[in-house]
Amino acid sequence: MATSEPVWAVAGERTVTCDHCGQGWFWSRHVVMSSSTATMFGVDAFSPEAAVLSCTSCGRLALFEPRALQLFTSTS
Ligand SMILES: [Zn+2]
């Protein structure tokens, strides 16, 4: 689910905005965490898959459960 263009995202019926700079465009990556990485993030109980949103402006990363996230591009 890697995208070559910026996306905006909705999670829990709220548009995701960057924690740091407040804007709403992200690069999206889908990652599968190793069990040690899952332990590091404290998410052992959840799926090892995660959706990573990287702010296009400041680079802040946000981590979501893939099933909880809807992604939109400027063309969709
Ligand atoms: Zn940002």
Q: How far is the CA of 57 from the centre of ligand 1 (A)?
A: 5
Tell me how many degrees the CA angle 27-28-29 measures, rounded to the nearest 5.
Answer: 130
**What's the whole-number mean pLDDT along residues 47-52?**
82
Q: How far is the CA of 3 from the centre of ligand 1 (A)?
A: 18
How many domains does the chain fold into? 1
Whole-number pLDDT of residue 1: 46
- 3-state class of 41 per DSSP? helix
CA distance 34 to 41: 11
Whole-number pLDDT of residue 58: 98
Is residue 45 a part of any domain in this protein?
A: yes
Q: How far is the CA of 76 from the centre of ligand 1 (A)?
A: 22
Q: How far is the CA of 5 from the centre of ligand 1 (A)?
A: 16
31: domain range?
Answer: 7-73
Per-residue pLDDT tens digits for 12-28:
999 999 999 999 999 99
CA distance 47 to 27: 21
Is residue 1 a part of any domain in this protein?
A: no
Residue 44 pLDDT level (bands cut at 50, 70, 90): low
